[in-house]
């Protein structure tokens, strides 16, 4: 199987975000107000799998409207995100990097996608959905969708970015996988499994792509980089630290499995766009 790592823009967030800070209103306030000198740039990764049953895209990155000229544009960002999220993310989407622009450069159009999988509903994972009309299926976990009505998620997952998209909502079921032993087997053949890794959000899914005896684990935002699970450092902007730790423990177990080709995180500063074959 081939898995393409795509960078669909970046975020420039407080330097405290990748390795946490206790989760509190005060720390969230500090992250929103972080001065430019205390911010770091992280990629926003999407992943395109060439699977025997079709092309599968995981997450969608930023939309062109946040960055019409390809540079940081605070006024444009505020037309897409509420002020608090605009202050948190400082998103940039350079020319040619929007998900549909990158797919088109590979000769792929939305109608060629058999599935778009959303790991969770935060805006850096859903904003690009508007460029993907025509994809055959868009899937999100029922647990993620259902809890989006909670005040804390309403504040961080703007409905305008995804509510109008027709999505299949899948149920996690009992499984040997994941900290909750909850997963969804997309094709019923274990080749693509969405595994509940709560903590960052309730319904967040990690995605396992399996081919032969090997697998790649996409950790979504349960870990911002491998250092999170290697050193058990919870990323910031989470919701429930104890669950984040359980999810990191599970990722560490999976990473130690001899079949694990790679663990890839959505916002790893060391990530480079490339193709993983396994």
Query: Mask: binding to Zn ion, 71-110, rule CB under 5 A, as x and -?
Result: ----------------------------------------
For Zn ion, which stretch binds (CB under 5 A), given 116-124, 140-148, 170-178, 237-245? 116-124
Neighbours of 161 (CB within 10 A): 22
For Zn ion, which stretch binds (CB under 5 A), given 148-156, 166-174, 220-228, 235-243? 220-228
Q: Which residues make Cβ contacts (< 8 Å) with residue 148, sequence separation at least 6? A: 121, 154, 157, 159
Using the minimum distance from each CB to Zn ion, give the nearer residue, 191 or 271.
Answer: 271
Q: Tell me the chain's radius of gyration from C-alpha atoms.
A: 17
- Determine if 221 is a binding residue for Zn ion (CB under 5 A): yes
Nearest distance from residue 124's CB to Zn ion, in Å? Answer: 4
Using the Cα atoms of residue 164, residue 166, residue 171 and residue 172 in order, give the sign of their dihedral. negative
- Determine if 124 is a binding residue for Zn ion (CB under 5 A): yes
Nearest distance from residue 42's CB to Zn ion, in Å? Answer: 9
Using the minimum distance from each CB to Zn ion, give the nearer residue, 214 or 227.
Answer: 227
Nearest distance from residue 248's CB to Zn ion, in Å? Answer: 16
Using the minimum distance from each CB to Zn ion, give the nearer residue, 87 or 104.
Answer: 87
CA-to-CA distance for 52 and 49, rounded, in angstroms? 9
For Zn ion, which stretch binds (CB under 5 A), given 100-108, 184-192, 193-201, 219-227? 219-227
Determine contact, residues 234/228, Cβ cutoff 8 Å: yes
Using the minimum distance from each CB to Zn ion, give the nearer residue, 60 or 191.
Answer: 60
Determine contact, residues 34/124, Cβ cutoff 8 Å: no
For Zn ion, which stretch binds (CB under 5 A), given 13-21, 122-130, 148-156, 239-247? 122-130
- Determine if 59 is a binding residue for Zn ion (CB under 5 A): no
For Zn ion, which stretch binds (CB under 5 A), given 136-144, 168-176, 179-187, 214-222? 214-222
Q: How many residues bind Zn ion (CB under 5 A)?
A: 2
Contact set with Zn ion (CB under 5 A): 124, 221
């Amino acid at each position: 199987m081939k898995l393409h790592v795509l960078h669909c823009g970046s975020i420039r967030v407080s330097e405290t975000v990748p390795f946490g800070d206790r989760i509190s209103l005060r720390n969230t306030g500090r992250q929103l107000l972080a001065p430019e000198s205390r911010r770091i740039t992280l990629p926003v990764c999407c992943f395109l799998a060439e699977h025997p049953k079709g092309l599968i895209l995981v997450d969608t990155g930023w939309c062109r409207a946040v960055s019409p000229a390809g540079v940081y544009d605070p006024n444009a960002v505020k037309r897409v995100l509420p002020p608090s999220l605009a202050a948190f993310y400082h998103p940039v989407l350079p020319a040619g990097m929007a998900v549909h622009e990158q797919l088109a450069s590979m000769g792929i159009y939305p109608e060629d996608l058999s599935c778009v999988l959303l790991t969770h509903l935060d805006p850096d994972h859903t904003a690009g959905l508007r460029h993907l009309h025509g994809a055959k299926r868009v899937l999100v976990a029922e647990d993620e969708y259902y809890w989006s009505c909670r005040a804390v998620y309403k504040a961080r997952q703007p409905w305008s970015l995804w509510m109008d998209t027709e999505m299949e909502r899948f149920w996690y079921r009992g499984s040997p996988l994941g900290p909750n032993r909850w997963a969804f087997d997309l094709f019923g053949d274990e080749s693509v499994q969405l595994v509940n890794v709560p903590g960052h959000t309730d319904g967040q899914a990690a995605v396992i792509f399996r081919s032969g005896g090997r697998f790649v684990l996409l950790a979504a935002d349960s870990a911002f980089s491998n250092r999170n699970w290697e050193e058990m450092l919870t990323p910031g902007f989470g919701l429930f630290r104890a669950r984040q730790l359980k999810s990191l423990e599970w990722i560490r177990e999976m990473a130690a499995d001899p079949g694990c080709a790679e663990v890839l995180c959505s916002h790893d500063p060391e990530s480079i766009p490339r193709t993983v074959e396994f």
